Amino acid sequence: MTSPQTATDDSPVPDFTALLRLDGKVFIVLGAGQGIGRQTAHALAQAGATVVCVGRRAAPTQAVADEIGGIALTGDAMVRADMQRIADQALQRFGHIDGLVDTLGMPRIKPLAEFDDADWQWQFDTSLKHVFLSTQIVAPLIGQSGGGAMVFVSSTAGVAVTSNRAAYGASKAALQQFVKAAAFEYGNVGVRINAVAPGLVSTPRVRGNLSEAMMRAAGTRYPLGQIGTPAQIASVILFLAGGLSAHVNGQTVYAEGGMAARSAIYDLSSAEPPEPPAAA
């Protein structure tokens, strides 16, 4: 740090660009095989981190690890034994764990009236169980390593209603509350815990379910004129993972192009006001 002398402020000025670097850090990325997870693995690696790529499917997970010079571990983060093994293997290999990014989750899309108990349990497990297990198992190891960051991927569905996603929205709202509470529990050992909430993102899964025309049409509803990309979400994750966000904790950062701020009457704002009713 340098200390420029001015008449009003001589506090040290950090090297802000250096705060983006993650040299010597070890990060675990859950769901690294595609989409936001793959882009996040690249982002962390470009910033200097060693990345442990984790996924249930060996081939795509290994492919991403090869792309970035990381290592691949196969396992199901919703199974305690697998999550414990992943953490143990990373710690044994590198001697420390400095961060974790969890990109897992997907919605079960259908009316709430059609949900049965199994559907409900599946949705909450798919959104939250891995968050609980990775925090409980990995956060203490990050603390023992000197502190670091955990970042989870939520969704604007946690605060905004989307059709046929009532259970998904409830589970993502729960994730955001979990992040707030966990940040208090693990802050005293130097572990920051945050989330990023995207809107619609052109991941491989989304592209497999929506046509290009549908995604372009959705983009017209966004102030920026387009839906998000996995790389744009990974950029926010990179910020939350490093020193530039050193005083950000327990937060959910909305990376959704401004769509969540849209009023229901936005499109009516430029319309001519209706004629007053005729006098009786």
pLDDT tens digit sequence for 160-196: 888 889 999 999 999 999 999 999 999 999 999 999 9
- What is the b/e burial string over 215-252, where b = at least 16 CB atoms within 10 angstroms of the residue's CB? beebbeebeeebbbbbebbbebbbbbbbebbeeebbbb
The residues that bridge with 26 in the sheet, in sequence order, are 50
Residues labelled as active-site residues: 168
Q: What is the pTM of this model?
A: 0.89
Please name which of 241, 253, 215 lies closest in space to residue 39, comparing C-alpha atoms: 241
Burial of 52 from C-beta contacts in 10 A (0-12 / 13-18 / 19+): buried
How many CA within 13 A on the CB side of residue 140? 6
Contacts of 181 (CB under 8 A, 6+ apart): 250
**Quick one: pLDDT band at residue 264, thresholds 50, 70, 90?**
low
Positive or negative, the Cα torsion across 16, 20, 21, 25?
positive
CB 149 within 8 A of CB 191: yes
Q: Report how far residue 241's alpha carbon sits from residue 98's, in angstroms, rounded to the nearest whole number.
A: 9
Q: What is the pLDDT of residues 111-123, one digit of tens each?
A: 999 999 999 999 9
Element (H, E) at 101: strand 99-102
Mean pLDDT of the region 264-275 = 55
All domains in the chain, ordered by first residue: 19-200+229-256 (3.40.50.720)
DSSP 8-state code for residue 182: H
